[in-house]
């Protein structure tokens, strides 16, 4: 299987945590790394990041697709349509219980992939050992 053609799981995870929050009457918050593509008043940005309440009470017209998260938010009472690249989302969580998911950067992704490969290799080796042990099993007749 060619893993280069597999789409990112991130938008699916963002949508699922959002739905989980809504289904459980929790307030979904989204932590975003701000970049020049995102038009947000500077006074709301701290250390290049911002946290949005993305509940239906706080924003309007939410759309989460595989590339962008779009919604209208108010800043000082003035509505602004925001287009947030999915890659800018650092986390999505429920405010009340502080549960959700945090996304790490590419270095973390590479480290995860290396660890996953090691675990896969270990599991494969373990399976080989069990198979070898099974083939050496001998039966004895006990009277």
Between 61 and 107, where is the model more confident? 61
Contacts of 54 (CB under 8 A, 6+ apart): 18, 28, 29, 30, 62, 69, 71, 92
**What band does 140 get if pLDDT is binned at 50, 70 and 90?**
low
Strands (E), 1-143: 28-33, 49-53, 60-64, 68-75, 78-85, 89-94, 99-102
Say if residue 130's pLDDT is above 50.
no
CATH number among 2.60.120.460, 3.40.50.300, 2.30.30.220, 3.30.428.10, domain 7-103: 2.30.30.220
Say if residue 31's pLDDT is above 90.
yes
Task: Provide the mean pLDDT of the chain.
Answer: 82
Secondary-structure percent of the chain, ordered helix, strand, coil, rounded to 5: 35, 30, 35
Q: State both tokens at 46.
A: 């701290």
Q: What is the pTM of this model?
A: 0.71
Render pLDDT for 54-73 as a digit per residue (tens, 0 to 9): 999 999 999 999 999 999 99
Q: How many CA atoms lie within 13 A of 24 on its CB side?
A: 16
């Amino acid at each position: 299987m060619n893993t280069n053609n597999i789409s990112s799981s991130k938008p699916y995870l963002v949508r699922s945590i959002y739905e989980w929050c809504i289904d459980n009457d929790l307030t979904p918050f989204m932590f975003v790394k701000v970049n020049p593509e995102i038009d947000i008043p500077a006074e709301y940005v701290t250390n290049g990041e911002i946290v949005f309440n993305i509940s239906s009470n706080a924003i309007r017209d939410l759309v989460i697709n595989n590339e962008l998260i779009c919604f209208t938010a108010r800043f000082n009472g003035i509505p602004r349509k925001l287009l947030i690249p999915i890659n800018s989302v650092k986390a999505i969580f429920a405010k009340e219980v502080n549960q959700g998911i945090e996304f790490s950067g590419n270095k973390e992704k590479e480290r995860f992939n290396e660890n996953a490969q090691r675990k896969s290799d270990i599991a494969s080796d373990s399976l080989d050992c069990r198979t070898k042990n099974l083939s050496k099993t001998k039966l004895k007749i006990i009277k």
